Chains A and B, each alone.
Chain A
Amino acid sequence: MGIFDRSTTGHITAPVTVTLERGAMIFFAETIGETDPIYLDPTAAHAAGHPDILAPLTYIAVIGTEAGKTAHRLGQTDFLDLIRADLRVLLHGNENYSYHGPLYAGDTVDVRTEIVGFVDAKGGQLEIAKIRQTMTHPERGLVVDIKRDLIHRLSHEAAA
Chain B
Amino acid sequence: MSLTLQSARTGDMLPEHRFGPITRTTLALYAGASGDHNSIHIDIDYARAAGMDDVFAHGMLTMSQLGRLVSDWAGQPNVVALSSRFTAITPVGATLTCTGEITDRFEKDAAYFLRLRLSATIDDGTQTAKGDALIRVS
> Residues of A at under 8 Å CB distance from B?
24, 27-28, 30-34, 36, 38, 54, 56-58, 61-62, 65-66, 69, 87-99, 102, 147, 156, 159-160
Out of A54, A91, A93, A97, name the residue touching B82 (CB < 8 Å).
A97
Interface size on B, residues (CB 8 A): 41
Asked if A160 and B33 make an inter-chain contact with CB atoms under 8 angstroms apart, the answer reads: no
Interface of A: prevailing SS: mixed
User: Does B80 lie within 8 Å of A156, measured CB to CB?
Assistant: no
7 contacts across the A-B interface (CB closer than 8 A): A27-B33, A31-B32, A61-B60, A95-B84, A96-B83, A99-B82, A159-B89
Q: In the complex, A33 Cα to B85 Cα: how many Å?
A: 21
User: Contacts A33-B19, A66-B35, A94-B86: A56 and B80 contacting too (C-beta < 8 A)?
Assistant: no
Give the residue name and chain of the A residue nearest to B53 (CB).
A159
> Lowest 3 CB-CB distances: which A-B pairs, in order?
A57-B67, A92-B59, A88-B50
Inter-subunit contact B35/A62 (CB<8 Å): yes
Q: List, in ascending order, chain A residues with CB within 8 A of B29's CB.
A: 31
How far, in angstroms, from A89 to B89 measured CA to CA in the complex? 13
Q: Which of B49, B72, B85 has the most C-beta atoms of chain A within 10 angstroms of its own C-beta?
A: B85
Q: CA separation between A90 and B72, bound complex, in Å? A: 31
Residues of B within 8 A of A102 (CB): 76-77
Q: CA separation between A48 and B84, bound complex, in Å?
A: 28
- Collect the chain B residues with CB atoms within 8 Å of residue A24's CB: 33
The answer to whether A54 touches B38 (Cβ under 8 A) is no
Q: Report yes or no: A87 in contact with B38, Cβ–Cβ below 8 A.
A: yes
